[in-house]
Amino acid sequence: MSRKIEKWAAGRTERGMLTLYFKELDSTNDFAMELSESCPHGTVVIADTQKKGKGRMGRRWESPDEDNIYMSVLLKPGVKPKDITLLTLAGAVAAAKAIKKLTGVGVRIKWPNDLMASGKKLGGILLESRSSAKSFFAVMGMGINVNAAPSEMNAVSIKAETGAKTDRIPLIEGILDGLEAELETLRKDRSRILTRWRRLSSTLGREVRVTTRKEVFSGMAEDIDEDGRLIVRMPDGQVRAISSGDVMELR
Ligand code: BTN
């Protein structure tokens, strides 16, 4: 039997995903990783606040206890290491669509998975994976500024966009339902995820500065390839496919 999420209880979403709520955790991603052996695919860990919230590229994710979304989803069967980037794109598409549908806020996606509103960061996704001889699984962590005023200048919240407080619970349910649906689509026809991502992208067709762990360079963001890598054309005509890094949209 599926039922609606109730605060601070374990429950199930409409699509049967197991949800675990906490007042405070160090990081929902770390906790979901710890559960990975014992919990099924689709287990969701949600916290009101995180003491050691993690962002991409080793950054910290500020996690004030003011009605934002901090959640992580355990993804097990059907996940292949080469699909990691596509998974994050599917997560970003699910979140962008649910936010638009439930709050009216138009969200664009900055490659690979920054959720942007009015040109500022509304949320982000951190995908972490582990493999052993027997299995491969991933944890998809989502942080969304819902009601707290972000401390950073280039960040924004849903409340700042709409002027009203948003109830997190229906939004979480909408994102999780959307995520299940996008993952099903990904399993059947990955090209449809790419098409949906392209439609929501703020990055394609823009000049970008890319920072990877090894280098920084600029070029034109032309497209994403079938694995979700960003295709950047350099001023000398050379084309690069980027699988991880930070993108700044210049023009
Ligand atoms: C980014 O840097 O854009 C990704 C941010 C991801 C933050 C979320 S909050 C829930 C989950 N737990 C974490 O420690 N990080 C992710």
Tens digit of each residue's pLDDT (9 = 90 or more) over 51-109:
999 999 889 999 999 899 999 999 986 667 778 889 999 999 999 999 999 999 999 99
Q: Which residue's C-alpha comes closest to atom 7 of ligand 1?
A: 143
Q: Is the CB of 28 under 6 A from ligand 1?
A: yes
So what's the pLDDT on residue 3?
A: 34
Q: Which atom of ligand 1 is nearest to the CA of 114?
A: 3
pLDDT digits (tens, 9 = 90+) for 1-41: 333 444 445 566 555 667 899 999 999 999 999 988 888 88
Q: Which residue's C-alpha comes closest to atom 9 of ligand 1?
A: 143
User: Rounded mean pLDDT of the chain?
Assistant: 90
Q: What is the pTM of this model?
A: 0.91
Q: Are 42 and 17 in contact (CB under 8 A)?
A: yes
Q: Which residue's C-alpha comes closest to atom 10 of ligand 1?
A: 70
Q: Which two tokens stand for residue 200?
A: 């929501």
Q: Is the CB of 68 under 6 A from ligand 1?
A: no
pLDDT digits (tens, 9 = 90+) for 174-201: 999 999 999 999 988 989 999 999 999 9
**Rounded CA gap, 135 and 187, in Å?**
18
Mapped onto helix, strand or coil, the DSSP state of residue 247 is strand
So what's the pLDDT on residue 77?
A: 64
Residue 31 CA, ligand 1 centroid: distance in Å: 12
So what's the pLDDT on residue 38?
A: 85
Q: Is the CB of 159 under 6 A from ligand 1?
A: no
Q: Which atom of ligand 1 is nearest to the CA of 63?
A: 9
Q: In Å, what is the CA distance from 72 to each residue of 138, 206, 232, 241, 247?
A: 10, 31, 30, 28, 23
Q: Is the CB of 31 under 6 A from ligand 1?
A: no
Q: Which of 22, 25, 29, 111 to mutate to test the pocket of ligand 1 (most atoms within 8 A of CB)?
A: 29
**Rounded CA gap, 87 and 245, in Å?**
16
Residue 56's φ and ψ, nearest 5 degrees, are -70, 160
Give kind and range of the element (H or E) at residue 217. strand 216-224
**In terms of pLDDT, which residue wins out, 135 or 153?**
153
So what's the pLDDT on residue 85?
A: 87
Q: Which two tokens stand for residue 96?
A: 């962008």
Q: What is the mean pLDDT of residues 219-240?
A: 95
At 26, which amino acid appears? D
Q: Is the CB of 110 under 6 A from ligand 1?
A: no
Residue 133 CA, ligand 1 centroid: distance in Å: 27
Q: Is the CB of 94 under 6 A from ligand 1?
A: no
